[in-house]
Chain A
């Protein structure tokens, strides 16, 4: 179930790349998910079991969805744009993709410029030029630098999921070993960008961007936890994810200043942290399991003492104790 939730967030995030409808003068922190073309008879509220299909409908008679009433004007107009487009399709040389795809393509090619230009609009404009699109398109992203970083985070999560799905050597590893391996795989995905990663982190920490980055990280932690297969019911769900989130973040930051070959020190650091967390878990488990034994002991102890005292008192032993 968590896998499908993660995938849904990714789909939602992709379509949310720039689908905001700003009706007020002040920017809205939340964005509306502009729905793309659906296959016939869509279910507007996803049950959570079935992932939202990622549909690139190129059928000439594709039925356009009427967006939900709260959806933005862009959804309504994109449907009319597509219907107008259909009439002109035969006159165009190349098929016109949905704007989200074009934006994703721009962001993908912008990643190639990040090492030289950083996580900036300049990288995005260079990416746009590579794809053959006017750099003006960068203006259509609502939070420009953040859009690039968020796209990268989503991309990494997808790659992680793909790697998990394609099978990993897990059988001989303990739970702590599995978690270590998963975090290592994920961090290795961002290793090529490590020189510019501090900038990405500061972009993610910005108040405007923080809600989205938090959601992305939560999905990532969820995915790692789910894939490690640890289904213990001993500690709280939130505690598990907080602890894992802490391990991931500290390792990520450690990696920024690690200059050892192939980040060996970082992986050693990671293993230590995971081991600490599992030791802590064991300690807490022991404490909790001993709790009822402690309770019984205390009751016994004090119960006995109380009995003695009362016997002494009623038999006069309190006064004449030395005579018993």
Chain B
């Protein structure tokens, strides 16, 4: 049963005789166990059209954002990198292009459909050696401690149920000197642009989703989850709480997208 609270905050309530924790998924209240399933359903639905929809929604800008993310990462030959929630492999391919030699890039995603799309693309591009596709949960990664030089998560962390856990896991798997980079849709504070962005998000995107992917619900969820995600400064504090140092963020397009970075020492 979905339980509505008067304040839209993380909390717990009980139905009948058991405590049920609730979390935020879009603007609907759902039980925690249900959130990951809901997210899973969304991405199963969008997987096949994911790249096309990204292009349409961002006007092709998402490519530039991912390129900026990779240049900030500053990859080097021989690095071990983990790209979480990177199902279709966008970031991983770009890292490979930058490094241009043998590396180990692990692409982890909770959704096997997204991974399959990525694997297909890899075969098409002839990139089979350096990429390792792994199904896994950002909150409970299957990698040993202190094993990765870099960790990226692009447009994935807002779908995680417990963001703090994902951050702690990121801290765990990184080596000393390793960097955490997160590319995520974030909050716009610039007055006029905010209104334009809101209108675009709530009116245009779900409509395009319906037209192109035949799925208004998923894209409605997407847009709402962006608004629910913590703003840049708060997210930076969360990253620091997980143990990272030198936590900074860079706003792209005045805050539509932000790249947060942290250093593990």
Contacts and interface: CB of A to CB of B under 8 A. Distances in A.
A73 interface: yes
Contact of B252 (A25, A80, A137): A25
B233 A73 contact: yes
B236 A134 contact: no
A46 interface: no
Contact of A72 (B72, B76, B244, B248): B248
B179 A25 contact: no
Given A22-B250, A24-B251, A136 B245 contact: no
A135 interface: yes
B79 A135 contact: yes
B162 interface: no
Contacts, number: 111
A96 interface: yes
B28 interface: no
B204 to A, nearest CB: 23
B246 A80 contact: no
B265 A102 contact: yes
Interface stretch (B34-42, B114-122, B170-178, B207-215): B170-178
A18 B245 CA distance: 12
Nearest to A98: B245
A76 B238 CA distance: 11
Interface in A4-51: 18-25
Contacts of A76: 233, 236-237, 240
Given A25-B250, A74-B247, A135 B177 contact: yes
Nearest to B179: A136
B8 interface: no
Given A139-B74, A140-B179, A85 B246 contact: no
Interface string B188-202: 000000000000000
B149 interface: yes
B178 A77 contact: no
A135 B245 contact: no
A26 to B, nearest CB: 10
B140 interface: no
A140 B261 contact: yes
Contacts of A84: 240-243
A99 B236 CA distance: 16
Nearest to A125: B76
Nearest to A80: B240
Interface residues of A, number: 38
A23 B250 contact: yes
B253 A25 contact: yes
Interface string B39-77: 000000000000000000000000000000000111010
A191 interface: no
A134 to B, nearest CB: 4
A93 to B, nearest CB: 12
Which of B150, B244, B245, B253: most chain A Cβ within 10 A?
Answer: B245
Contact of B76 (A24, A25, A77, A135): A135
A137 B237 contact: no
A133 B245 CA distance: 14
Contact of A99 (B74, B237, B242, B263): B263
A18 B265 CA distance: 15
A135 B239 contact: no
Given A22-B250, A97-B265, 14 more contacts: A73-B249, A77-B236, A77-B237, A77-B240, A78-B245, A78-B247, A81-B240, A133-B175, A135-B76, A136-B76, A136-B150, A136-B179, A137-B263, A139-B150
11 contacts: A22-B248, A24-B251, A74-B246, A74-B247, A76-B237, A81-B244, A99-B245, A135-B177, A136-B175, A138-B74, A140-B246
